[in-house]
Structure 1
Amino acid sequence: MTFASTTLIGEAFVGEGANAAHTNVVLGRRGGPVEAAWATALATPSAGHVPFVTVLRPSVPVQPPTLFVPKAAAHTEVHRRATWGAAQAGLAQGVTDAVEAGDLPADETGALLLIAAIWVDAGVDDLDEAFANQRAAAARAIRAAVEGTPTAADVLEAARQGAANPFYTPPPEAVAR
């Protein structure tokens, strides 16, 4: 079977507070639905949400080609530097880490495309921490996509503890069945 013969989806959240990273990835092969989504997203930016090709360094796009899709419009100078600088560099390094770890086969990176939807909190205040969190989140999201985790059993087990996220945790009586 060819690696990523179907669309793979992964998610990861790393860190705490304003410097945390939340990353969603969609991975697929050129010639498939991910390619259509990749090209469409790149060709149809909207105000504040301009997708761009992720580069390890200027003129060195990561492999597989990765589209950075910001989930939040960057309004302040620090938020812009965090989004287009630290988070983009973290995503680039995280994708490269996934290739080095074997989660993405190096010999197939040219046949693959990756879309990464990236959250950078408007209150970000530490570019180095934002970079490190994004790097880890990118690598973890890719690994989750490749491994197909979490499984339905994992989700059902987590549901026993109730829904929660860094922005809201419902009261226990709302979770009880």
Structure 2
Amino acid sequence: MGEPAYAVGESFIGSGANAAHVNTVLGRRGGPVGTAWATALATPSPGHVPFMAVLQPGLPVDPPTLFVTKAAPAGDEHGRMIWGPAQAGVAGGVADAVAEDLLAGIDLDDAVLIVAVWVNPAADDADEVYRNNRAATRTALANGARGLPSAEDVLAVRGAVHNPFYTPPDAGPDRPTA
């Protein structure tokens, strides 16, 4: 079947307003991810301005990482949480994944990464936002590189659908699966 055109990852770390929900798409610069990366950077929309994640000013993380916020800044403090601790956490998580060789087998010199990040407008602890986004980014990249979750894992929990914001009344072990 060959190497996939891109690797998709997801992770949710933490709880409450300072939790991190991260989605990653890692792929070749000359492939569909590279096209999406460049297009997103060149076509910002009101409230959603993708930017390159940096470890320090003037030192972008490698592979080049496009930070895309899932929520438009709801004010100055929310914007600081996005551009400050969440962005630093994403950059740190990418660097961790590379340093820990979690992306083995991927040509990082030919890769670009898109990271979609949820920062709750009610987030109030910059250090927790940073830690959660760092861990979520690292975990999402590791999951994507390993092709997780498996179809078997998805099917095993299909009767217990829930997320931190909603649990359906029929979610549970007794839910009919037919």
Q: Same fold (TM over 0.5)?
A: yes
* Structure 1 residues 79 and 145: CA distance shift in structure 2, 3 A: same
- Corresponding residue pairs, total: 175
Query: Where in structure 2 are the equivalents of 1:18-167 lying within 5 Å?
Result: 18-105=17-104, 108-160=107-159, 162-167=160-165
CA contact (8 A) 1:5 1:29 kept: no
CA contact (8 A) 2:22 2:116 kept: yes
CA contact (8 A) 1:99 1:106 kept: no
* Structure 1 residues 173 and 121: CA distance shift in structure 2, 3 A: closer
CA distance in structure 1 between the aligned counterparts of 2:171 and 2:24, rounded to whole angstroms = 33
Alignment-mate amino acid for residue 154 of structure 1: D
| Structure 2 residue aligned with 1:172 | 170
Q: 1:106, CA displacement in angstroms?
A: 9.7
CA distance in structure 1 between the aligned counterparts of 2:62 and 2:15, rounded to whole angstroms = 29
* Structure 1 residues 6 and 106: CA distance shift in structure 2, 3 A: closer
Sequence identity percentage: 53
CA contact (8 A) 2:28 2:110 kept: yes
CA contact (8 A) 1:65 1:110 kept: no
CA distance in structure 1 between the aligned counterparts of 2:152 and 2:107, rounded to whole angstroms = 31
What TM-score, normalized to structure 2?
Answer: 0.92
CA contact (8 A) 2:53 2:65 kept: yes
Q: 1:109, CA displacement in angstroms?
A: 2.2
Deviations 1:92-120 (A, max 9, x none): 00000000110124993221100000000
Alignment-mate amino acid for residue 102 of structure 2: D
Asked if residue 17 in structure 1 is aligned to residue 16 in structure 2, the reply is yes
Alignment-mate amino acid for residue 23 of structure 1: V
Unpaired segments of 5 or more residues in structure 1?
none
Coordinate RMSD, CA, aligned: 2.0
CA distance in structure 1 between the aligned counterparts of 2:132 and 2:165, rounded to whole angstroms = 17
Tell me the secondary structure at the aligned position of residue 47 of structure 1: coil
* Structure 1 residues 89 and 75: CA distance shift in structure 2, 3 A: same
Tell me the secondary structure at the aligned position of residue 28 of structure 1: strand
Unpaired segments of 5 or more residues in structure 2?
none
Q: 1:159, CA displacement in angstroms?
A: 1.4
* Structure 1 residues 64 and 105: CA distance shift in structure 2, 3 A: farther
